[in-house]
Structure 1
Amino acid sequence: MLKRAIHWGAAVITVAAVTVGCAAPEYTYVKNAEQKTYFKVPHDWHQLPTGDLDDYLTGSNPNSASSAIRQRMWWSVAYDAAAIPDPVHLTTSDVTDEPIVYARVAQLTEPQQNAVSLDMLRDMFLPVTEDAREAQAANTQLTGFELLSDEVLTPSDGTHGVRVVYNYEITGVMHTFDLTALVNNTADRLYLLFIRCSTSCYRERTEQLDTIATSFTVRSK
């Protein structure tokens, strides 16, 4: 059960980790070979189940037809650096002093395809654009917004999107969110990588977290 959660948008992935060699490697390599999507996380992070998390992000009842459809259309995975890993660390309003990363590949429906824009990608999880923040002004859990970076990405001929890094104060503690969101050129496939931890945690581990974010790769088909 995902408790004490802040209000999120919707959108998700599934994973395979590959390690080589006898000694413990520095990173776990995560991939969806079918969708040609790859990234890496530190080897000592813990993989999490994402079924309940995906249902929460979409507002779906796990026994509903929409949940069953989502499971066919999404691939999602999450890794948590916390000693006691828990999917709730992605959405909680409590302090997260260890980073958690969540990735998703999703097939988009026709209405979703028609709504695709760079601003829509920026607002995938929490309000980032001015219009989205104004619409969420009544949400008193999210205050103190700070945009740290906003980069338009064209990593290949077949994809484009954004990477946005921003802060929100949640119950008195500043948290940093790092989102990479891409779509293919036909806008029928969404690729996400989302990292969250407290701002003090993010500052201490900036190099490591940037390595994760920049390792996110989608190959053109």
Structure 2
Amino acid sequence: MAAGLVVGILALVVAACGAPEFTYVKNSGQQTYFKVPHEWHEIDTDSVDDTLSGTNPDSATSKARQKAWWSVAYDASEVPDADHLLSAGTTLQPIVYVRVADLNEPQQNAVSLDMLRNAFLPVTEEARSASAGAALGLSGFELLQDEVLTPEGGLHGVHVVYDYELASGVMHTFDQTALLNTDGSKFYMLIIRCSTSCFRERSSELDTIAKSFTVRS
């Protein structure tokens, strides 16, 4: 009986010391932190960064961008792929992408809260009209949340949550936090994407990720 009790206790200890619930992601140099469920997979972001920056991966501009940007992404899909962030197809499992970027002087002078809202996809009415969203395969825009953020340390920015129907015909939800440091020289962004049905089913989990995004300026 004593031996059985010891085995039982050991089993409980092993279970308690199993895989952690979250992976804690940090860039100490950029003072940027967030967490994702432990079972999500880290994926390479080079192709995403080249697409978002509009640069040829072999160009000198791309090499300069690599020095100015730090990015990381995690995909919940069993077949993780960075294209799940930008694809016009259906994203059945959530993906999160985080970027920190140095801004040059012209970029600093041009930044506004509306530009932060439009940092990933067109969100403001003016940006949606100018972007010819139909040509991008975007329709059915719905703004679910729009909040101005003023965290400690002089940071400021926005948190927006919005829906778009993509070319696949499936509605997707995007949860975006975009911040600037005190002097506007550094940009921080977190994006979560998933189909709207997926987003609703996993809202608590995805909200935890969004709220974990922390920048210390």
Q: Residue 63 of structure 2 aligns with which residue?
A: 68
Q: What is the identity, as a one-letter code, of the residue corresponding to 1:115? A: A
Q: Residue 205 of structure 1 aligns with which residue?
A: 202
The answer to whether 1:147 aligns with 2:167 is no
Say which SS state the counterpart of residue 123 (structure 2) adopts: coil
Say which SS state the counterpart of residue 44 (structure 1) adopts: coil
Unmatched 5+ stretches in structure 2 = 1-15
Q: Residue 35 of structure 1 aligns with which residue?
A: 30
Rounded to whole Å, the distance in 1 between the matches of 2:49 and 2:215 is 21
Q: Which has the higher helix share?
A: 2
Residues 110 and 45 of structure 1: CA distance in aligned 2, closer, same or farther (over 3 Å)? same
Q: What is the identity, as a one-letter code, of the residue corresponding to 1:42? A: P
Rounded to whole Å, the distance in 2 between the matches of 1:55 and 1:119 is 23
Q: What is the identity, as a one-letter code, of the residue corresponding to 2:210? A: A
Rounded to whole Å, the distance in 2 between the matches of 1:214 and 1:45 is 17
Residues 138 and 101 of structure 1: CA distance in aligned 2, closer, same or farther (over 3 Å)? closer
- Counterpart of 1:98 (choices 71, 76, 93) is 93
**Alignment length, in residue pairs?**
200
Q: TM-score, normalised by structure 2?
A: 0.90
Q: TM-score, normalised by structure 1?
A: 0.88
Residues 151 and 138 of structure 1: CA distance in aligned 2, closer, same or farther (over 3 Å)? closer
Rounded to whole Å, the distance in 1 between the matches of 2:170 and 2:152 is 37
Say which SS state the counterpart of residue 150 (structure 2) adopts: strand
Rounded to whole Å, the distance in 2 between the matches of 1:77 and 1:90 is 12
The answer to whether 1:49 aligns with 2:58 is no
Structure 1 segments of 4+ aligned residues over 4 angstroms from their partners: none
Unmatched 5+ stretches in structure 1 = 1-20
C-alpha displacement of 1:23: 2.1
Report which structure shows greater RCO (CA 8 Å, sep ≥6): 1
Q: Residue 172 of structure 2 aligns with which residue?
A: 175
Q: Residue 8 of structure 2 aligns with which residue?
A: none
Residues 77 and 138 of structure 1: CA distance in aligned 2, closer, same or farther (over 3 Å)? closer
C-alpha displacement of 1:125: 0.8
Higher Cα Rg: structure 1 or 2? 2
Say which SS state the counterpart of residue 155 (structure 1) adopts: coil
C-alpha displacement of 1:139: 2.6
Q: Which has the higher strand share?
A: 1
Say which SS state the counterpart of residue 69 (structure 1) adopts: helix
Say which SS state the counterpart of residue 133 (structure 1) adopts: helix
Say which SS state the counterpart of residue 139 (structure 1) adopts: helix
Give RMSD over aligned pairs: 1.1
